[in-house]
Structures are given as structure tokens and as C-alpha cells.
Amino acid sequence: MDSISKDKMENNIIKLSILFISDIKDKNSNEIRYLNNFFENVILISNTREGLKYFKENKIDIVITDIKTSPLCTFEMLELMKSFSKNFVSIIYTKDNKPEHLMKSINIGIDGFLLFPFKEVDFIDILIKSSKKIKDKNKKIKKELKLLKYHLETADKTSIISKIDNQGIITYVNSNFCDVSEYTPDELIGQHYTLLNHPKQSKKIQENLWNTLINKKEECSAVIKNISKNGKPYYLKTDMKPILSKKTRTLEYIHIKSNITSIQRDEKKLISEIEQNNISLLLLIQIEEFDMFEKFYNKDIVNKIENEFAQRLLDYLPDEYIFEQIYNMKNGQFALLTDFFTFSKYEINLNNYINKFIQEVKESILIIDDIEYDLNIIVSYSFGKMHLFEDAKCGLDEALLKKEIVNFSNDNSIKEHIEAKKNIEVMKMVKIALENYKIISYFQPIINNKTKEIEKYESLVRLVDEKGSVISPAGFLDISKKGSYYNKITHRVLENSFKILDKINTKLSINLSSVDIEKEDTRRVLYTLLEQHKENANRIIFELLEDEEVKNFNVIRKFIRKVKKMGVRIAIDDFGTGYSNFERLLKFEPDILKIDGSLVKNIVSDQFSQNIIETIVMFAKKQNIETVAEYVENEEIFNTLKNLGVDYSQGYYFGKPENISFLGI
């Protein structure tokens, strides 16, 4: 925080007494130094009970306090103070922005709620709005406070400043204003301010501004879209103030602006800005399939696309509101940031606003080196303060995963944190299970539909946790794929499955994914086990699972050919739906098709499912391929499948997966 020195205030000390109840021990802290610079009497007390006592015994104009819980609750203390006197300004200053504390502050009539870090302008603004509470000093104090606020806001030499009279004629511009507008002072002074208005500048924003300035004679702010002398659009965050005579007649209007056309390129700056703001609204934008641009075009073209999109980003936004800050996060990702309460004042439906924005991008064309590029975007948005960027980032990842175009992402980072914690717990559970040989196999019978005899079993993985509970694959298998334990689980399942061959006289089906087969060490384990049990290899079926992660079809095809020569049969799982059924048929040349359970479940009531299964059966018989239906849950489903000519059935109607003990072993 940059404090303004006393000499800038012409040695005018504001004669107000401030009681600062806080555990700040450093009397040279920014907050204390700032208050001592400008206010006559500043008392620092660290204890709420002592603070209440001091308030009762002394005349206090302003109370600033943290949110405390002991020895006396802050809200209780402020309520007691209000019962003693109404003529003081109450301000809560805290790092805590919990909604319940904000609501409590509103309910008991707190004048201001300042979020850490301390911002002088926000503090002075609260005092100006509450100055009627400070009796006998009101007019003089308010004038001094406004003067202080003016110095604070105009101290930055990079400000863009202009003045217009009450007829809208420009009377003054500084050099920064000329730089951004590309006009000289002579070309601007004496002209009407509308000379600078962009044709697409929102009329609603203009009307709101002038209604506040002219009719209410109050300060206001907005983002204004202007057009330069050379026809280039630019955006200014503008604070407008009426300068009034003693009779409250408007003499002129001063505009203090900052240029927001420039684009930040640093994630740290975005996070820093979020931390400094009160409550923010953040939009995170991703150019769809940007990674494809990087694959198909050279780096120079990709950079041009990204930079041109960034320059036009504000032009794509609906006229109702323009965001104050743009951040280019690279890799086709951008952020827009604004004050949430400023945005909410315009009573804009945020979803509609974002959808208009997305549509505008979709309907626009970027022209780079005479080539046209169509772009689509995905947007994630969140509002608040804590974890704002993390929430929006997680929301964007979720939107990309779910193929959504808009995602409201408040608390997504919390969900991700909870998910990460859960994942770690699962990994620990898997590790313990592997160490204690608690990765086991359950077996489910597969029935010949003509004889109703068990001809096969499918081997299914289970985990027994430390409490003895049996966990199904859904509870640990996908998470295990993200660590180093998945291969170990696969190897344990293979060992369990091959051991059972000596105990049964039926065929045995074992699930394998492309991830399993593509791993050289897993293939080596499989070949070794098949060699060790070569007399029973003709009873083994490898059931290839539906998997979009196939990286090398050639490896899988070579594996299939090799194990088939050893007597193994190949089944394709979940046939009838999915991304690559016929591709897999051509490449894997299966002996068995396992019909997807989602079709089987609905076969009695859904004619479409019945027609698909009938087609699969007819095709399979022509190719001399066996068919197995999963999820056979009742007699009606079984009879329908049998009538359609399905060869085998598997499901709870005939038996659920069981431990090896059910086989009498």
C-alpha cells in the first residue's frame, strides 16, 4: 500500500478519532501508518473487551475492528457500542469474507466491510458515505475526505484525465489522454465528448452514467468503449465526478481513466489482482481445439491467431458490459476480470451474457495473412475471492471433459481437493491390499442358452480392504491407472485366474484392456503363464475391453495372433455400442462377441435394442462367431435372448460373481 505523504494534503490533519481494535502489533504497519498520517487521534487496542471499555469512556468517531471470537465476539461488541451511541462509523476489516459474516454485518447495520489488504480509497469512500453520522463536523469533514480521496485517485501519473463542461464540451485533456486517443489537445478541446464514442458503445451504460452524474450529482464509474482518431477501438475504465459550486450547481465533470486495452500476460498478476480486489467475477476462456492449431500450423501462425483473438476479445463481448482487465494465459486460454458488485449493478443475466459472447465469437472470422479462421470458445466462470482462479480452472477442465460450452465453477477447486484426497486414500488402500494379497478374483458363470449348463466363468477383480469389506473395481481400478499399481493388480489377477484352471473343467474368460496389452512386462507375464499352462490354453478366453486409449493397434494385433496360435480364444466386450466396434472386428478377428449390457437390459421393452441384438446375432452366425449376452437379470430377458439366437447368457439370473469358495474349492 502506497501511503500519501502529509505534505500532499497541505498538512491538513482530519480531526477524527479512530479506535482500531486489532491484533496488529506493529505500530508501523501500513494501516496504522496511513491512519496516523491523516487522522488526529488513532488508538490501537488488541482486545475487544478493552475496546468496548475505551469506547464507553471516550468520544470515538470511527471504529475499525477484526472479526474476533474472544474474549468478546466482534458483533456483540459492535451491537453494544451502538446501544451507547449512534454517532460513529463502524467498519469491519478482515481477511475473512465468509457470506455469513457479511450478512451478520448487514443485519446489525455495519457501515463498511473492508477486505484485506487495506485500500485507502475504499476506506475513505466508506467515511464519505457515512459522514452524516459524525455530528458537528459533517460539512468540513466531508470536504476534507473528498479532497483526500481526490489526491489518492489522481496520484498515479499514468492516469488518463479529461474534463468536460455541463454541456458535454471537452475543456481539458492530459497528455496520456492524447496518447491513447491519437488526437492532439487542439483537436479535442472545444469538441463534444461524443467525438470519441465508439458506434457500438452501449447506450444503456451511457444513460446510467449521465443519470448518476447529472440528476443524482454523484460519482460513477464504467468501462467505456471509445474509438481513436485512426479508427482503432480502445477501452477505458472511467471514474467520473461532478465538480459542484457552493449552491450544488454542476460546474464541470472530471474523468479519471485507466487504459484496459493492453493485455496482461502473467498468471501471477491475475492472481495478485484477485487477491487485492474485494469480490471479483472471473471468466476463463479457452479457444476450442487449440492444440489442433498447434499441430496443423507453424508457431508463427498460432501466435498471430492468439494475439489477434486477444486484441478483439473485448469487441466480442455484449454491449451491456465491458470487463476491465484481460489476461492472455497462453495456449489459447484467456481471463477476464471485473468487480462482481459493479457487474451486478447492471442487472445482467450472466448466462445470457456469456452465451451472447460465445455466439459472437462463433459468428466472427479471424483473418490472418489472408486466410480465414473460424473459432469457438469454452467459458468457465466463478465469483468470489478465495480460490477464484483455481475454481475457474477446474471448471474449464470439467467443461472440456464434458464437452460443455459454459461451466459455473464456484467451489470446483474444493471438489477437486476432496477428490484428490479421496484418490490418495484409494491408492493407500490398493497398496495395502497388494502387500497382503487381498487383490482377489471373483467368478461369474456363463450359461449355454440351449442346455442351461455352465460352460464358462468370467474372472472379475475384487479388493478386500482392512475391514474385510469387498470392493468392486469401480471403487479402485480407474484411480489405480493413474499410479503405478494398475500393472501389479493386472498381474495379480492373471496369477489368480490361471491358478483356478486346475480346479475347474470349464472355459475361463479373463479381461484385458489395451493398456494391459501395450505394456511389454504384462505381455511377458501372459506368455509365461500360457506356456506354464499350455495344456489348458484352449480353455482361456481373453476378453478385450472397450478402450478409447488404444495407442498402438499393431502391438495388440500381433499379441492376438500370437496367443491364438497358443490356443487362446478372443472375445470383444461391450459390443453393440461404443466408438470402434467394426474397427475392432476388422483388426481383432474375434471368436466371441459379448453384447453390451445396456442393450440387453432394455431388450424386453425397447424394440430398437431388440433389433440391434438381432442384427448382431445374424452377423455373428454368418462369421461363425459366438455371442454372449451380459446383464441377464430375469427369465423374460433370457427367453427373449434365446429366441433371438444368442448362444450364451451371463447375469444375476444365473449367478452373481462369487469367491472361489462357491466352487467348492
The ranges assigned to domains in the chain are 6-154, 160-259, 267-410, 424-663
Q: Which CATH number is 6-154 given?
A: 3.40.50.2300
Instruction: Please state whether the predicted TM-score (pTM) of the whole model is above 0.75.
Output: no
- pLDDT value at 124 more than 60: yes
CATH code of the domain made up of 160-259: 3.30.450.20
| Residue 493 pLDDT | 92
Q: For residue 439, give Cα distances in angstroms to 35, 319, 464, 473, 564.
A: 66, 60, 7, 10, 28
Quick one: 267-410 is in which CATH superfamily?
A: Reverse transcriptase/Diguanylate cyclase domain (3.30.70.270)
Decide if pLDDT at 624 tops 90: yes
**What's the chain's Rg over C-alpha atoms?**
36
> 298-321 b/e with 16+ CB inside 10 Å = b?
eeebbebbbeebeeebbebbbebb
CA angle 411, 413, 414 (to 5 degrees): 65
Q: 3-state SS of 222-240? A: EEEEEECCCCCEEEEEEEE
Q: Which residues pair with 649 in a beta bridge?
A: 447, 629
Residue 2: is its pLDDT beyond 50?
Answer: no
pLDDT in tens, 262-309: 666 667 777 777 777 777 888 989 998 887 777 777 788 888 888 888
pLDDT for 97 equals 66
| Cβ-based neighbour number of residue 361 at 10 Å | 23
pLDDT at 136 over 60: no
What's the rounded Cα separation, in Å, for the pair 665 and 661? 5
138 grid coordinates: 459533517
Say if residue 83's pLDDT is above 80.
Answer: yes
**Mean pLDDT of all residues in 543-556:** 76
Which has the minimum average pLDDT: 25-34, 316-325, 426-435?
25-34
pLDDT, average across residues 187-200 = 87
The pLDDT score that the predictor gives to residue 7 is 39
For 213-237, b/e burial (b = at least 16 CB within 10 A) is beeeeebbbbbbbbbeeeeebbbbb
Complete DSSP assignment for 643-655: HHT--EE-STTT-
Question: Does the pLDDT of residue 485 top 60, yes or no?
Answer: yes
pLDDT in tens, 373-392: 888 898 988 887 777 888 88
Joined grid coordinates for residue 594? 459379448
CATH pick for 424-663 out of 3.90.79.10, 1.10.10.10, 3.40.1800.10, 3.20.20.450: 3.20.20.450
Higher-confidence position of 32 and 246: 32
Q: Which is it for strands 540-544 and 507-512: parallel, antiparallel or unpaired?
A: parallel
pLDDT at 54 (0 to 100): 93
CB-facing half-sphere around the CA of 456: CA atoms within 13 A: 29
